[in-house]
Amino acid sequence: MFEFHADRKRYFDIQVLNAEKYVIPFIEERFPIKPGMRVLEIGCGEGGVLKAFIDKGCVGVGVELDAPRIVDAQKFLPEDIAAGKLKFVTKDIYKVDTDKDFDGLFDIIVLKDVIEHIHDQAKLIGWMKNFLNPNGIVFFGFPPWYMPFGGHQQICKSKISRLPYIHLLPSFLYKGILKNRKENVEEMMEIRDTGISIERFEKICKKEGYSFFHVRHYLLNPIYEWKFGWKPRKQVGFIKAIPFIRNFFTTCVYYIIQPINNNSK
């Protein structure tokens, strides 16, 4: 396991910095973020990404299934919570009571390193239209499944954490290696089941009635700046244009999507 995955405060700080330097500027290239805008983050973890939006004057709601991560969020963000700028909901996103838990519609919905963990991704992507304001947008940032660490093996405790592409082995072989190394087989195989490619993501968005408002593919994920000291690099155009093959060499993609009938004129 890379040490920053064990140190939740450091991971929180990295998420804040990454959102401030890359996520928010990417969004603002096409969609100005204004004070008072309501932001929903699905799979918010400790709230690092939301913190960057709160500091821009937004009001945030974070949904997170893993209760201990919300406990950490409450430790890291007490002032924002007390000021009513931020609210957390500890539930499965599919079990949220949108009237009681959300308190209204949102201008921006954020899924950062989350869609690749969601079951029935088409259901969620289609459902999100119901709690977007007119002209609202959805931001996605995720690692394509076929990229070197698309199986999230970096969270493993053994040397598997440093082996690129090992998650692409046949299922029975990958499962056997995980078991042999005493890893959390259920968790890692679940990630395998929900991993998503660029093509599948785009196909779902189109089918669910969204247009692509802004797109960027990265050869080197922006968050690697803090994790490894590597500067982000955008994917070169000819690789980005090659379906399927691009997944193997693209460590992160950013997308803004918008319901077609909500598009700004």
Please state the pTM of the whole predicted model.
Answer: 0.94
Question: Are 21 and 14 within 8 A, CB to CB?
Answer: no
- Report the distance separating Cα 153 and Cα 161, nearest Å: 5
Is residue 5 pLDDT above 60, yes or no?
Answer: no
* Predicted pLDDT at 265: 39
Residue 4: the pLDDT is: 55
Q: Where are the domains of the chain?
A: 3-150+195-262, 151-194
The conformational region for residue 231 under phi > 0 = left, psi -120 to 50 = alpha, else beta, is: beta
Q: Which two tokens stand for residue 50?
A: 């939301």
Confidence of residue 208 (pLDDT cuts 50, 70, 90): very high
Give the pLDDT band (50/70/90) at residue 75: very high
CATH class of 3-150+195-262: alpha beta
If you compute the radius of gyration of the chain from its CA atoms, what whole number of angstroms results? 18
Q: What is the pLDDT of residues 143-156, one digit of tens each?
A: 999 999 999 999 99
As a whole number of Å, the end-to-end CA separation of the chain is 47
- What's the distance, CA 13 to chain centroid? 16
